[in-house]
Amino acid sequence: MAIRKDPYVNFNFLVEIDGIVRAAFHEAGGLESSIDVIEHREGGQNITSTKLPGQVKFSNINLKWGMSDDTDLYEWHRLWASGDPAAPRKNGSIVLLDRQGTEKARWNFFNGWPVKWSGPSFSAESSDIAIESIEIAHEGLARA
């Protein structure tokens, strides 16, 4: 009898960024890459064109978390927004855990920098948690 392999749940993950430690994230996304397609017509091939791989593109990483006294990610963004020449690029990881908390997959991004920060939306008619978000551009993504 074969052993059943259940898929992993998407709510059990960690985010690690150089020098920034966050307790919990609400959401992490943008784990995407795509390859441009270059179409090339060759002599004698009148029906179809040859397709060649072009430039690889990576989507920005999007992170959302419950607002707290921790301002590390906002301060990192503020360094870039103020034009600070010493603003650092950072490497990071999004780590998928199984139900027991064991690491099962890791997506590493390289040379990231924050391109967008968003503060929470407020409503007197809601009891939701105040959510901050940041968008990180980067130069590469690899699943480990």
What pLDDT, on a 0 to 100 scale, did the predictor assign at position 7? 86
DSSP E strand stretches across 30-73: 33-40, 50-58, 61-66
Q: Are 132 and 65 in contact (CB under 8 A)?
A: yes
Q: Are 34 and 57 in contact (CB under 8 A)?
A: yes
51-54: Cβ within 8 A, 24+ apart: none
Which parts of the chain sit beneath pLDDT 70? 21-23
What pLDDT, on a 0 to 100 scale, did the predictor assign at position 70? 87
Identify the CA nearest to 92 among candidates 58, 56, 140, 46: 140
Class of the domain covering 13-38+50-143: mainly beta
Task: Give per-residue pLDDT as tens, 71-82.
Answer: 999 999 999 999
Identify the CA nearest to 52 among candidates 39, 41, 43: 39
